[in-house]
Amino acid sequence: MKAYSTFIERALDAGTLEKIRAISPNFICLFFSPDKADSPVLRELCAAFKDVPVIGCSTAGEISDTKLSDSAISLMAVNFEKTTLRIAGEVIESAEACYEKSRVLAQRLQADDLAGVFILAPGLNVNGSAITRGFSSVLGSKVSISGGLAGDKTSFSQTYTLMNGAISENTIVVVGFYGEHIRIGTGSKGGWAPFGPARRITKADGNLLYQLDDKPALDLYKQYLGEKAEQLPYSGLLYPFSILEDDQSETGLIRTILDVNHESKSLILAGDMPEGKMVRLMHADVDQLIVGAENAAEEAHLDGMDAETSVALLVSCVGRKLVMADDVVEEVEAVQHVFGPGTRMAGFYSYGEICISDLTKEAELHNQTMTITLLSEAP
């Protein structure tokens, strides 16, 4: 297994092309700034490797090894020596279609030797929880499921996915990894802390939250935000919800606000908000977010892995990036500290992360986490 990762910020130079071709890649991931979606450099990359499976998405920030950018293309090219790959995509017309379209994708990839799937989905007008349920309903718990939702900086206007040169605003793309030699480790951790009282979800429909404790959700949320309520939905990234366990002793899945509806006084979240569950608001401590990233890497770490022949795909939430500001590179450095400098890394800041939950033991949509997919091949 060989890998090459780099940033491409302007033109695609001959030296970069030569380094990519030197490893004879059979898989390429491209995480790109939304302003690069229709750029000549992205089209040139796809044309140069039109016979190689290529997937990607737009971002709220790009990661390449321990470097970060807001206006580049992060490239990860991999040559798997003993692993077969297949990619597939499905157009989704609405959030309500996410479950069935994800089932269709999973069925297209399903096989006895399927070891894992890596999913890239649009970041807007989707229900990430429905996407994970769709894949899980077909693939079960023995197949690794991970990935993330595309980003659009902090504009929440237009996100893109990429498959074999085709850019789309409404297509879920996925790659499947097959064979007995591929080894996949995943980890997803947050580092956020709860504050304020627990509130019960008294009216919700999927990812639409209408009432907390029988009060309009938007009104109650604005009370907590104070002056920051004027900056919604942007400011909602800084104060997500945590869905509590039934005994309220432990925080569970975190949900980020993607938009608000002033007419219905509701909140639109990245994933489901189940009626009857208790939730609490969360806030961040930079040091704890960095520890969370380190813990995610430790969870994904594979025993006996060879760092020189491993790659890590990082999906971290845009909310973490906003909170950590200039310190955000430290969470990426924390991940590399666990894996070692030989592991090539690429990734992006997202509108949602997909990974197996250590609480439910099923694939879930996460928000405000560092989520890692580590890929290696056994001898």
Provide CB contacts within 8 A for 53, sequence distance 6+. 26, 27, 28, 85, 86, 87, 164, 175
pLDDT of the residue at 249: 60
> What pLDDT shows up at residue 358?
84
E strands present in 33-111: 54-58, 62-64, 67-69, 73-79, 84-91
Spatial CA neighbour of 256 closest among 333, 316, 326: 316
Return averaged pLDDT per consecutive 10 residues of the chain, 379 residues in all.
94 93 98 96 95 97 96 97 97 95 98 98 94 96 96 93 97 98 96 89 95 96 91 88 77 86 93 93 90 96 83 96 94 96 96 91 92 94
Nearest to 274 by CA among 200, 334, 349, 216: 200
Closest-CA residue to 317 (of 157, 158, 151)? 151
pLDDT value at residue 250: 63
Q: What is the pTM of this model?
A: 0.91
